[in-house]
């Protein structure tokens, strides 16, 4: 766990564009004197990471769910489904719900090619409906 937090803090340093002096001064300020992330406790590393989030280091979120893993032959259809979901601001769970409603199968990977295409068509129709509505 500590190594993950150290990696996150180092990634935050890179994303925020901090040089070594800035990075070490932030660690010293947040921890009360320590200048190396390897010397910090878990709580101190969490505090440093939180400070970096406040400074603009983006949080890692999974608000759109897990992208299904399908065979290469079905990847084009899945890419289109992902684009339609993104355009509508909907998570992957929406496509899974469509699949469950249409085919009684909520796991995208288990759909046949025809069923996967049907989910894509339903999302295309939804996109058209949204564009007509003011």
Residue 119: the pLDDT is 94
Residues 6+ positions from 97 with CB-CB distance below 8 Å: 106
Max CA-CA distance within the chain? 62
Q: What is the rounded CA–CA span in Å between residue 60 and residue 62?
A: 7
Whether 67 is covered by a domain: the verdict is no
Whether 110 is covered by a domain: the verdict is yes
Query: Do residues 45 and 79 both lie within one domain?
Result: no
Whether 127 is covered by a domain: the verdict is yes
Q: Which residues of 13-35 are buried (b: 16+ CB within 10 A; e: fewer)?
A: beeeebeeeebbebbeebbeebe
Query: Do residues 46 and 93 both lie within one domain?
Result: no
Residues 6+ positions from 36 with CB-CB distance below 8 Å: 24, 27
Q: Average pLDDT in the 51-65 region? A: 74
Q: Average pLDDT in the 15-40 region? A: 91
Whether 66 is covered by a domain: the verdict is no
Q: What is the rounded CA–CA span in Å between residue 134 and residue 130?
A: 8
> How many separate domains does the chain show?
2
pLDDT of residue 29 exceeding 70, the answer is yes
Q: What is the rounded CA–CA span in Å between residue 97 and residue 117?
A: 15
Query: Do residues 80 and 110 both lie within one domain?
Result: yes
Residue 59: the pLDDT is 76
- The domain containing residue 90 runs over which residues? 72-132
Residue 131: the pLDDT is 83
Residue 92: the pLDDT is 87
Q: Average pLDDT in the 12-17 region? A: 89
């Amino acid at each position: 766990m500590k190594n993950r937090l150290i990696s996150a803090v180092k990634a935050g340093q890179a994303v925020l564009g901090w040089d070594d002096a800035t990075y070490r001064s932030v660690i010293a300020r947040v921890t009360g004197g320590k200048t190396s992330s390897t010397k910090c406790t878990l709580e101190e590393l969490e505090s440093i990471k939180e400070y970096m989030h406040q400074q603009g280091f983006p949080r890692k979120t999974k608000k759109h769910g897990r992208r299904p893993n399908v065979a290469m032959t079905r990847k084009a259809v899945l890419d289109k489904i992902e684009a339609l979901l993104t355009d509508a601001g909907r998570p992957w769970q929406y496509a899974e719900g469509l699949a469950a409603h249409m085919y009684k199968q909520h796991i995208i990977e288990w759909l046949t090619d025809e069923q996967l295409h049907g989910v894509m068509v339903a999302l295309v129709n939804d996109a058209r409906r949204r564009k007509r509505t003011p």
